[in-house]
Amino acid sequence: MKSLILCLILGTHVIALENPAPLEVDSVTTIQTSKVKDAALEKLFTTLGQDEFATALKEAQQADVHPQVLLEARFLNFIDLGNNAAIAAMAPELSKKRDTFDPNHSEVFALKDDWLAIVHYAQALAALENNNKGDFKKHITEAFWLSPRQAQAFGPHIERLQLEEAMQSLKLPLNQPLKSQINGKSTPLAQYIAGNKAIILYFWNPMSQEIQINLADFIVTTQTCHQNNIPVLAILTGQYPGIIQDAETIRKEDATKAQCAWLVDSNKKLLSSLLRVRDIPTMVIVSPEGKILFNGHPADKTFWTTLEKLSPKFKRPNSKRKNDS
- Provide the whole-model pTM: 0.67
**Residue ranges of domains in the chain:** 66-165, 177-324
| Calpha distance 167→174 (Å, rounded) | 15
Please provide the size of the chain in residues.
325
pLDDT band at 168 (very low <50, low <70, confident <90, very high): confident
Instruction: Of 79-83, 157-161, 182-186, 281-285, give the lowest mean pLDDT range.
Output: 157-161
322 versus 136: the higher-pLDDT residue is: 136
Hey, which residues does 32 pair with through a beta bridge?
A: none
pLDDT at 234 over 60: yes
Mean pLDDT to the nearest integer, 286-300: 93
Instruction: Of 33-37, 55-59, 204-208, 280-284, give the lowest mean pLDDT range.
Output: 33-37
pLDDT at 325: 36
pLDDT at 34: 74
pLDDT band at 31 (very low <50, low <70, confident <90, very high): low
The distance from CA 3 to its chain's CA centroid, rounded to whole angstroms, is: 67
CATH of domain 177-324: 3.40.30.10
The distance from CA 313 to its chain's CA centroid, rounded to whole angstroms, is: 27
pLDDT at 82: 86
Percent over 90 (pLDDT), the chain: 63
How crowded is the C-beta side of 325, counted as CA atoms within 13 Å?
Answer: 5
pLDDT at 9: 29
pLDDT at 56: 94
- Spatial CB neighbours of 45, under 8 Å, sequence gap ≥ 6: 73, 76, 107
Task: Put the strands of the sheet holding 261-264 in their side by side order.
Answer: 186-188, 177-180, 261-264, 232-236, 199-204, 282-286, 292-296
145 versus 320: the higher-pLDDT residue is: 145
**Coil, strand or helix at 286:** strand
**Mean of pLDDT over the chain:** 86
Q: How many C-beta neighbours within 10 Å does residue 122 have?
A: 25
Instruction: Estimate the crossing angle of helix 25-46 against helix 67-81, to 10 degrees.
Output: 20
